[in-house]
Structure formats: C-alpha cells, structure tokens
Amino acid sequence: MRKIIQVGVGGMGAGWTDRIAESERWEAVAYVDVNKKNLMAAAARHGMRKVRCFTDLAKALNEIEADALLDVTPPQCRKEVCCTALKHGLHVLAEKPLADSVRNAKTIINTAQRMGRTFMVAQNYRYQPVAQTARRFIEKGRLGDVGYVAARFVKGPKFGGYREEMPYPLVLDMSIHHFDLMRGILGADIEAVQATSVNAPWNWNKGDATVMAQLELNNGVAVNYFGSWVSNAAETGWNGDWRFEGSKGVLLWEDDALRFESAQGRTRPVPLIKMPRTHQAYLSAAFAKALDSGVEPETSGRRNLNSFASTFAVVRASQKHRRVPISEFL
C-alpha cells in the first residue's frame, strides 16, 4: 500500500478523504489544510492523528514520509502545492483544473518531467459508465463516421467563494469537464475554437457564466457547445446532454442514459458497461497503477493540457471575437 499526503480536506477534499480511506492501494499519512476547522473535522472522521495534521505544507513534507501527494486546493494554489511536492520527490495527483493559467500549468508539467515524477489530473467525468459506454460505442464503429456533436449543459449552483469571483467561472471551472469528455469520447484533441460569452441579467457571479462555443477537433469533428451556470429551471445533469451524429444514426446522451436512433428509424437503449470503480475511486486506483507500471496516465498533466488550454482559448475567442487556434497557448 502506497502512502499519500492530502492537501485540502474541506469541500471537495472531504469527498477525497473518504475515497482514499476506502482505497486498497493508498494510505493517507497526513492531512494539510490552512483551515483548522476542516483539518480537525477530516482528522476526526478518519482517525488521523493530530501530529499528522498540518497547516504548513513544507512542514508536512519534511516530517512525513510519503510516495505521493493529492492536491485538492483551489486552482490558484496548484502551482505552489504541486511544484513543492514534485521537487520533494513525490508523485502528484491534482484536482482539475490543471492550474490557474496555461503558463503555470506548463511549469508544473515541466517540473514533473525534470524530477522524473508522475503528475496526473483528476478528470473524473471520463470514468463513469455512461461516458465509457459512449466512447466504446463510437470506437467500435457503431455510429459510423462521426460528423458533428451538440452538447448542452445548464445548471444554477450558488457555490459562493472563489468561483463566484472568477472572470469566467463556467468556462474555467466547469467546462473543462465537458471539453475533456469530448476529447476522451471522440479520441481527438481540440484544434481551434470560436465563442460568445453571455452575462445574463440575473447572473450572481462577477464574471460571465454562460457561453456558446464551437470547437474544432483534429479528427474533423465539430462540436457545438452551450453551457450556463446561472440557469433558473429545467436543468440538465452535471454531465450535460449530448447528441453525437454519425453516418449510421444518432447517439443520444440524456439524463445520464444512452439511446441509439439508427438511420433506418429504429431506436434502442444502449446498455451501460459495468465499472467496479468510478470517478475518484477509479482515479486513485489508476494513479497507483501508473506508479506501479511507469506508464503515463491517460489524464497526465501533459495529456490534459489540450483540455485545459481549450478553456482559455474559449475565453480569448469570446473577448477577441475571432477564431482561436489552441496552438496560441501551447
């Protein structure tokens, strides 16, 4: 069993403490959080000794032996936390998004490469039955040649905190999931984008929280994406609703279920594959497997950079009112 230090144990971090506690591959050997209340709550829930609870990362790294670090801090903390751990010789699994800027993301990726450590990003939306079933359905050619995709996501969460202070909260914090999903399902990278950002009259965020974007993939597929984080009703699920149009018919992903409508007019549900582990549980196991095998993870920082850069390209496209190639950021 490998040893891991978790940084950030409140909010989403609380869920991660549960997944690590349930894992057969990982033992949490220390918690780090600047919020003492969150720190003590996590320690009490999982029996972490107080001498292994820290408000200072450097102190934790100096006093506790570990194989890896799990970073569940806000994106503006990512560079400092990850680079500090990597330079200390630890492998790192970090929550998405990869960082708070492409420049900082590249710094983390380069540091991991220089130190010979694995840096993996927790893109958990990929690892759920509905997404993996859609991916296999398309990979096996059951949809035929894919021509275009439509994706729609509408939610109205009121998180408070740093998200509501972000300039483009939907795109930079949430759309990364959907952009990464389309890459994973279609097996391609995003090549260029065009976009329009919308500031709805009732928007409770400081930044625009609605976007209409067109994404061009390097396999020739085009994706029309609409997303909003200030919906007042008729919400989608967190995955959104998707329409994959192919030469053999249409694959519809709605309410976390799949159905296929053939070009001949026949409709049938698509049974979802079974997965013993999903989301964070899958990621923690995949991280351990990557360290055991030395094989680069599917969502390594290097491989995830295209998903991440695409969010900043959408922001630039909406600001500059022009088509933006992803190469401008890579």
Residue 80 has pLDDT above 90, yes or no: yes
The pTM for the full model equals 0.95
Q: pLDDT of 85-136, one tens digit each?
A: 999 999 999 999 999 999 999 999 999 999 999 999 999 999 999 999 999 9
Kindly state whether residues 109 and 139 are assigned to the same domain. no
| Residue 303 belongs to a domain | no
Residue 139: the pLDDT is 97
Contacts of 294 (CB under 8 A, 6+ apart): none
Residue 163 has pLDDT above 90, yes or no: no
Kindly state whether residues 112 and 130 are assigned to the same domain. no
Kindly state whether residues 257 and 157 are assigned to the same domain. yes
- Token digits for 253? 């992903």
| Residue 297 belongs to a domain | no
Q: What is the CA radius of gyration of the chain?
A: 20
Question: How many Cβ atoms from other residues are within 10 Å of residue 68's Cβ?
Answer: 21
Environment class of 50 (CB within 10 Å of its CB; exposed 0-12, middle 13-18, buried 19+) = exposed
Least confident of 64-73, 156-165, 232-241: 156-165
| H or E stretch covering 70 | strand 68-71
Question: How many Cβ atoms from other residues are within 10 Å of residue 277's Cβ?
Answer: 15
Could you tell me if residue 220 is left (phi over 0), alpha (psi between -120 and 50 degrees) or otherwise beta? left
The three-state secondary structure class of 164 is helix
| Residue 285 belongs to a domain | no
Residue 162 banded pLDDT, cuts 50, 70, 90? confident
Domain, as residue range, for 242: 126-276+309-328
Q: What is the CATH number of the domain that holds 168?
A: 3.30.360.10
Residue 161: the pLDDT is 86
| Residue 316 belongs to a domain | yes
Residue 125: the pLDDT is 97
Mean pLDDT of the residues in the chain: 97
